[in-house]
Amino acid sequence: MTDENGFIHPYVPNAAPAPRRRLLGEIGVEKVSDLYVSVPEELQVKGLLNLPDALPAEHDLRRHVDEMLSRNLSCRDHLNFCGAGCWQHYVPAICDEITGRGEFLTAYGGGTYSDHGKNQAIFEFQSLIGELVGMEVVGTPAYDIGAAVNSAVTMACRITERRGVLLSGGVSASLRSQVRGFTKMVADVDLIGIDPATGLIDLDDLKAKLTGDIGAVYFENPAFLGLIDGRGAEIAALVHAAGALLVVGVDPLSLGVLAAPGDYGADIVCGEIQPLGIHMYGGGGCAGFIASRDEERFVAEFPMILMSIAPGAEEGDIGFAWSTMQRTSYDKRHDSEDYAGTTQWLWGIGAAVYLSLMGPRGMEELGRGILQRARYAAGRIDGLEGAGVPHLDGAFFKEFTVDFSASGKSVGDINAALLARGIFGGKDLSADFPLLGQSALYCVTEMHGKSDIDRLVDTLAEVLS
Amino acid sequence: MSANGGGFHAARWNEALINELSEEGARGIVPPAVDAEIAAAVGDVAAALPEGARREAPPDLPEVTQHRVLRHFLRLSQMCMGFDVTTDMMGTCTMKYSPKAHEHMARGAKLADLHPLQDVGSLQGLLELMYRFNRIMCEISGMDEFTFQPASGAQGIYTNACLIRAYHESRGDLGKRDEIITTAASHPADAATPSVAGFKVITLMPGEMGFAGVDALKAAISERTAGLMLTNPEDTGQYNPNIRQFVDLVHEAGGLCAYDQANGNPLLGVVRAGDTGFDMCQFNLHKTFSAPHGSLGMGCAAVGVKDFLRKFLPRPIVAEDGSGGYRLDYDPGQGIDRIRAFIGNVHAVLKAYSWVMSLGAEGLRAVAETAVLNNNYMLAKMRTVRGVTIPWPANNYPKLEQVRYSFEQMFAETGVTSHDVIDRMVDFGVQHCMPSHVPMLVTEPFTMEPGESLTVAEMDQMLAAIEAISDEAYSDAAKAQGGPYNAATTRIDGDVPEDPDCWAFTYRGYLRKKAMWTSENRRKIERHEGGY
């Protein structure tokens, strides 16, 4: 490209010769390189980068990318039983319709007046999550539940002025890694043991570890391995008696049937919103949230943007604004203990649409149905030779562990055999939870009818035999 | 006149909150029913839940019929100024066109309905795309390996801070090297994220040229220096020509250098972080590489490192499997802990890859040059707007992709502030500009970045809006201070979101606290004037 012949492309209109000449003339320079005089010559690339040949025709580009993508097998053409932090749920058409709207999709940092609608949608996201978890303060979306937990446990440490964090030993290896990295310099993290009989956190171990140094205790309900703990209030009482704060992680999709953590004593609630009307996008659908009571000492420690409602100038008008930004790293810069920035707001809007569609009845029916399907699937799998569901007598939501150790086969081999028959099996837990042997985490959602579950069971029977 | 030829008025639906649209018994969607045989086999599982875990009353969500939910959110979308509908020159944001074809590809089942833990054999298309883009990013940046795990610029910069920490830790130097140097006009995340990672942060202030000088850097460097983290050009649009010397000095002192390429749009195909001597860098795929900004995310940071830092990247990394396919390398090695769940915002990677493939090497350079061309055109015109000044007048270099202007003179002469201008802009049918990140180095700041996507006519419409506001400031200051008038909502009581007695972040908080809005006992609020 030269200044004379320019470059013609639909995405760069002023690279064409005529506007390029015109703009150079208006600026009063002869050539574009005159505009780069602040950049030392020796740092500038000579010639062009060595990149693949361009595909400027949209058709050619789509053909190229679609050809690559066609080599993926998707959960729409395969039967999927893998969850483990990213779950296949039905995404209502209206969720896709709204998250695909250009006005939202291509908005960014607009404010009270320019992006009023975005702000209202995010305020509604906060509102609807608040109803599910039983809290009055909900922040704008976090990156994912792991980032939310990072922020929540360090918030709790700052509020209590303590360094100790106790994490349930049942959280995922991924989340454990996220927390370990984030808290490395500011907190001491220990794990609460899991009672092998129940799969739930061991309260004796919790009591023993709840010293005066502990600022935050984190457990998930339902747990990563699907189990539901009915002792939330008891755990909260223990934690509060020790002067610590209780952080509870939830799958918000479960809260049509499960108690709101705010109602059993949680101080901060975290969660993953991907199940609420967001496609999995290979994990890109993940986004999180943090919620707390409306107390100044909590709000002051929220790291992210908080969207507040406010009255407009005329009677009945409402507007929205980013509240108390002096809390955030935008203002605190080198004094920051956490950071704010672009996160996953579009998925927050999608979740608001989802919860608006579902309503109280939808969430309740969905939750009840998932409980039933998961129990049916677990019961049938438990009946297979070589497979067992360790906590079949406990309560679980959506996911449950299947132990294949008795079969003499590895989860890896079983999953490969399932895949050959068109099924994605559960997440292999053997590396992350070695004590569980050859176990896998199976996920059953409202996407699965009886015939799907029966097909899984029949196929497993074939694979295990 | 409006930017679009006159008479602009935003949609103002006065749309109620979704909670207020609730009508008892209305349904928006019905979940799939449970098969009767399953129900018969397992009974009422919910009723058998442990008492302490069972929800006693359904959540107080709104009950709204389907089309009304659709209408509600469509109306909200109409009250939002995305790039698809209007000109957005918000500084530090690199707003540009996000091609629709890429969006359509990302929304197909072969990406949207992938589970991240599927067998790698079933993800070969995605992994190949990520691998190819990794190689492309290496060529663009001069780095040797990339990860796409971080979900935003700030998270990418945080990743850089963690990499610096891991490097010094591996050498047993972490206790000795605990200081990161940045500059005041770099993005706040360049100061904030190393602080989060446990470093002390030294911020260099700009000299008369508008960027930090070599002497300031020398004074900050010591045996405690762990690294340098900055943007260049900074958020002022000014490129620091001493950058190579900065990097060399920090290296000589034993520190690492991280190049935050949040402002990298004018450098695509022109300057490479690796050639400038940096050890690592990060690019925003949602800004520079056209993936849509998603109302404040889904973003994606591409974090690149030189070969000697490859072992510290967070896992997994996409690698060749030796037989023509691709695998995910989960071997933790010395890799830093996970930054984000799974393998990143891969839909943003797809869009960024598609964008580069559409443009090619020549096109990337055209993007950079045109962004600079457009910006200097805006600068030439903005110089003539009454009340506008260009800070750091000693610096006569052309700016690169953005300019931090000042309305100091207009404020002195009329009382109209840059925030007034920003609010008033919306009446002209354009997205407002941002003032400045903290610290406020410039009085009455106003930061504009036109990007490469806009036509000359669109830039002229933006200029016409600014000129009209300037004229108004000098003829009818009260009107210029009272905007917006034609926006989606009327001016709010800005003290409410700052007042703990009044703020409300949820509907339930709003119901409890709104009576305080009109109470005589409201506290006096010190208004916060930062810009984002």
At B431, give phi and psi (nearest 5°): -65, 145
Cα A122–chain centre separation? 16
Find out whether B448 and B442 touch, Cβ atoms under 8 Å: no
Find out whether A357 and B68 touch, Cβ atoms under 8 Å: no
Mean confidence (pLDDT) of chain B: 96
Range A331-359 average pLDDT = 97
Q: Which of A5, A35, A8, A33 is nearest to A21 (CA)?
A: A5
Residues A235-288 pLDDT 10s: 999 999 999 999 999 999 999 999 999 999 999 999 999 999 999 999 999 999
Tokens, residue B159: 């990743």
Interface with A, mutate which of B19, B139, B271, B298 (most A CBs under 10 A): B298
At B507, give phi and psi (nearest 5°): -60, -40
Q: How confident is the model at residue B532 (pLDDT cuts 50, 70, 90)?
A: low
A72 DSSP 8-state letter:
B
Give the H or E element holding residue A297: helix A296-299
Tokens, residue A408: 């003499």
B152–A143 CB contact, under 8 Å: yes
* Same domain flag for A199 and A334: yes
Q: What percent of chain B has pLDDT over 90?
A: 95
In a domain, A103, yes or no: yes
Find out whether B427 and B12 touch, Cβ atoms under 8 Å: no
Cβ–Cβ contact B188 with A under 8 A: yes
Give the H or E element holding residue B280: strand B280-284
* Same domain flag for A289 and A226: yes
Tokens, residue B501: 């007695």
B183 DSSP 8-state letter:
E
- The strand ranges marked E within A98-187 are 137-138, 164-168
Q: How confident is the model at residue B528 (pLDDT cuts 50, 70, 90)?
A: low
Range B175-182 average pLDDT = 97
* Same domain flag for A16 and A127: no
Residues A314-323 pLDDT 10s: 989 999 999 9
* Same domain flag for A298 and A374: no
The CA distance from B530 to B64, in Å, is 38
In a domain, A71, yes or no: no
Q: What percent of chain A has pLDDT over 70?
A: 100
The stretches of A306-423 forming alpha helices (DSSP H) are 329-332, 345-382, 411-420
* Same domain flag for A364 and A385: yes
Count, residues in chain B: 532
Find out whether the peptide bond into B316 is cis, omega within 30 degrees of 0: yes
The CA distance from B226 to B238, in Å, is 25
The CA distance from A132 to A149, in Å, is 18
Q: Which of A309, A271, A270, A356 is nearest to B60 (CA)?
A: A356
CATH number reported for the structural domain that contains residue A164 in this entry:
3.40.640.10
B293–A77 CB contact, under 8 Å: no
* Same domain flag for A380 and A291: no
Please spell the DSSP secondary structure of B401-416, one letter per residue.
Answer: S-EEEE-HHHHHHH--
In a domain, A182, yes or no: yes
Q: What percent of chain A has pLDDT over 90?
A: 98
State residue B331's pLDDT score: 83
Residue at token pair 């993953």? A272
The residue among A354, A386, A413 that closes a domain is: A354
Residues A28-86 pLDDT 10s: 999 999 999 999 999 999 999 999 999 999 999 999 999 999 999 999 999 999 999 99
CB atoms within 10 A of CB B44: 11
* Same domain flag for A346 and A366: no
Cα A351–chain centre separation? 11
Residues B484-517 pLDDT 10s: 999 999 999 999 999 999 999 999 999 999 999 9
**Inter-chain contacts counted by CB atoms under 8 A, chains A and B:** 775
Residues A410-437 pLDDT 10s: 999 999 999 999 999 999 999 999 999 9
In a domain, A70, yes or no: no
Tokens, residue B313: 């990247």
Q: Is the pLDDT reported for residue A216 higher than 60?
A: yes
Range B122-140 average pLDDT = 98
Burial pattern B201-229, b for ≥16 Cβ within 10 A else e, equals bbbbebeebbbbbeebbeebbeebbbbbb
At B528, give phi and psi (nearest 5°): -100, 130
The CA distance from A235 to A265, in Å, is 9
Q: Is the pLDDT reported for residue B3 higher than 80?
A: no
Contacts of B168 in chain A (CB under 8 A): none
Cβ burial, residue A203 (10 Å; 0-12/13-18/19+): middle
Q: Provide the residue range defining the domain that includes A382.
A: 79-88+360-464
Find out whether B63 and A102 touch, Cβ atoms under 8 Å: no
Q: Is the pLDDT reported for residue B4 higher than 50?
A: no
B367–A11 CB contact, under 8 Å: yes
State residue B471's pLDDT score: 98
Cβ burial, residue A179 (10 Å; 0-12/13-18/19+): buried
Q: Is the pLDDT reported for residue B93 higher than 70?
A: yes
Cβ–Cβ contact B116 with A under 8 A: yes
Cβ burial, residue B527 (10 Å; 0-12/13-18/19+): exposed
Residues B197-210 pLDDT 10s: 999 999 999 999 99
State residue B529's pLDDT score: 61
Coil/strand/helix, residue B78: helix
ipTM over 0.90: yes
The CA distance from A247 to A238, in Å, is 13
Q: Tell me how many domains chain A contains.
A: 3
Interface with B, mutate which of A334, A338, A371, A450 (most B CBs under 10 A): A334
In a domain, A65, yes or no: no
The CA distance from A226 to A401, in Å, is 8
Find out whether A274 and A287 touch, Cβ atoms under 8 Å: yes
* Same domain flag for A386 and A315: no
Burial pattern B154-183, b for ≥16 Cβ within 10 A else e, equals bbbbbbbbbbbbbbbbeeeebeebbbbbbb
In a domain, A145, yes or no: yes
In a domain, A271, yes or no: yes
CA distance A405 to chain B (A): 21
Residues A219-246 pLDDT 10s: 999 999 999 999 999 999 999 999 999 9
* Same domain flag for A34 and A84: no
Coil/strand/helix, residue B512: helix
The CA distance from A44 to A303, in Å, is 39
Candidates A19, A84, A256; nearest CB to B59:
A256
The residue among A327, A354, A381 that closes a domain is: A354
Residues 214-233 of A with CB under 8 A from B: 221, 228-233
Helix-helix angle B66-78:A116-133, to 10 degrees: 140
Please spell the DSSP secondary structure of B12-77, one letter per residue.
Answer: ---PPPGGGG--TT--S--PPPPPHHHHHHH--TGGGS-GGGB-SS--------HHHHHHHHHHHH
State residue B525's pLDDT score: 86
Q: Which of A19, A85, A34, A29 is nearest to A288 (CA)?
A: A85
Coil/strand/helix, residue B345: coil
Question: How many CA atoms does the CB half-sphere of B100 hold within 13 Å?
Answer: 7
* Same domain flag for A390 and A345: no
Beta bridge partner(s), residue A44: B271
Range A126-131 average pLDDT = 98
> CA angle at residue A88 from A83 to A90, to 5 degrees?
155
In a domain, A66, yes or no: no
* Same domain flag for A237 and A121: yes
Coil/strand/helix, residue B504: coil
With a CB cutoff of 8 Å and minimum separation 6, the contacts of A435 are A196
* Same domain flag for A123 and A254: yes
The residue among A302, A335, A354 that closes a domain is: A354
CATH number reported for the structural domain that contains residue A415 in this entry:
3.90.1150.10
The CA distance from B88 to B71, in Å, is 25
Q: Is the pLDDT reported for residue B1 higher than 90?
A: no
Domains of chain B: 18-78 (no CATH), 119-357 (3.40.640.10), 492-532 (no CATH)
Cα A41–chain centre separation? 45
Range B112-137 average pLDDT = 98
A69–B126 CB contact, under 8 Å: yes
Residues 12-51 of A with CB under 8 A from B: 12-15, 19-20, 22-24, 26-29, 32, 34-40, 42-45, 48-51
